[in-house]
Structure 1
Amino acid sequence: MHDGNTPFSARFGFHSPDAEITIREDAPEEMRSAVAMLGYAFDLGPGGMRDLLCEVLLKRPDPGNWSPGNIENEVHRLIDSAPWYKIYDFAERLYLEVGKGDFSGDRQRSFEERLNRSFRELGVGWELQQGKLVARGSEAFTLATRDAVAVMQNAGMPTAAQEIHESLKDISRRPNADVTGAIQHAMASLECVAREIDGSTDTLGKIIARLTFPPPLDVALHKLWGFASEQGRHIVEGREPSFEEAELVVTIASATGVYLLRHRQRAQSGPQA
């Protein structure tokens, strides 16, 4: 049975294809409007919207505006003039507000789904996960990082999983992503896994040759280690890595850690009958 409030497109799975991600450190007009309209769609009304916005922006509501129409105009002005990252702060605040009194969590799930659909259709590189906005990268990035945390936790490696978590936090920082921090934490996670597999405390650079990578993948991983060491640890003035470079390192480090743990698990299980 479908929820009577579920729109036609959602009921039958119709939606626009995901747009290429072109927006990270910005909140264009379409995105600002989408966030505002979602607030109204979840029955927050002009007064409630203004209260939440003023709380996020640390601004005093205009005491001269008391009618719903004037308050709604004030909300639009506040949204239009807010710094881009405050719009995303506001989206997170809305998520909390729509969940008040809803013990099933259905309203928050619906809010999250609709906001994330807007992000994908508008090419915005963010997504809401349980009320927190995190960087949205390529499909490979999403799959690799999501699987890495779960696999590492299941393998009894909470430190490695936490390093990936910290890497995602760094790459998701507003208003500026901490790309060097993301690289450092991702490679620290991989090094943690490699040490566990190798049974040593050597650096990853020394361990790579002793791992199970067929050539030339071992050479490629060694080059990745060199790049990460230079960009994540020994920063050259004027050569900060780009978001895309950090995304690539985090993706590869996460996928490699998963590969090593799964390879060990298969080896320990032995040949299947």
Structure 2
Amino acid sequence: MPSSRWNHIDRPTLSELLTVLPGDQRQLGPDSWPKRRLARSHSIVINKTRKPSVSTPTSKQQNSGPKRKPAPQAGGKKPPEKAMNKPRQESGEQPSIGRLLGTNILLVGALCVSCVVIATLAWRLLSSPVSVIAVTDSGQIIRPQPLAKAFVTDSRVLSFSTEAIRASFSHDFVNYRDTFAQARSNYYTTEGGQSFAKAIDPILNDLRERRLVMSVAPLKAPSLVRGPYLLGGRAVWEIQAPISVFLEGTQSRFAPQERLATLKIVRVDLSESPTGIGVDSIQLAPYVERR
């Protein structure tokens, strides 16, 4: 059989197989059929492993067909155009990003500076002392004076006490809230207004329920009992004024009540009262005329 015959034949070397061509029938005898077959198989394997040869186009083909760029060499490959343009685009984007970052940093810095300036101005405005300028009824400016100094004359204190008494006891059942608020804010200190509100609240309730009108009239001119003297770091005056309180209703009328009003007037800051004085306390007691 051919397979047993092939086993006794020596295998040719690679150089011998390459020299033997598949179509050369004259150099091979009838006994070398396996060698010829082996040479053909080896030639097929060798041809498969070889790279296909690239045929160079002729001058006519180059002129007739579209121009093609030569294939890049293995040692120096040219990058495609998109890859070449990409670094240029990135290099163009980098300056714009840097410009935006710089602008944002400047805006943040300006915002911080403006916040510091606003906070400084607000602190200066709140911490700076407020200068109050008081004026008299005639328009004369009253310069700020220490509370221990009694810069107000006695006659001014007496007239102030008369005004305070009239405003404190002139109310009706309709407008008593407004008249009381005006008297408290114009003539009383903070502590004096609180004590006066507690004392007169029952009288105001009686006016509202019985629909009464209250008024006051002086029996005599007010007199300065004591003062000015220093108490608690400020000047103080004590005034007494005999008054008559009237209560009238729509269908009834009551007898007048004679009372002795004792007022303690003290110096206050001009920011609290433009007159510089205020009623710190007021007391009503039955009045008995001395003969």
Q: Between Structure 1 and Structure 2, whose CA radius of gyration is higher? A: 2
Q: TM-score, normalised by structure 2?
A: 0.20
Structure number with higher relative contact order (C-alpha < 8 Å, ≥ 6 residues apart): 1
Richer in strand (by share) = 2
Q: Which one has a larger percent helix, Structure 1 or Structure 2?
A: 1
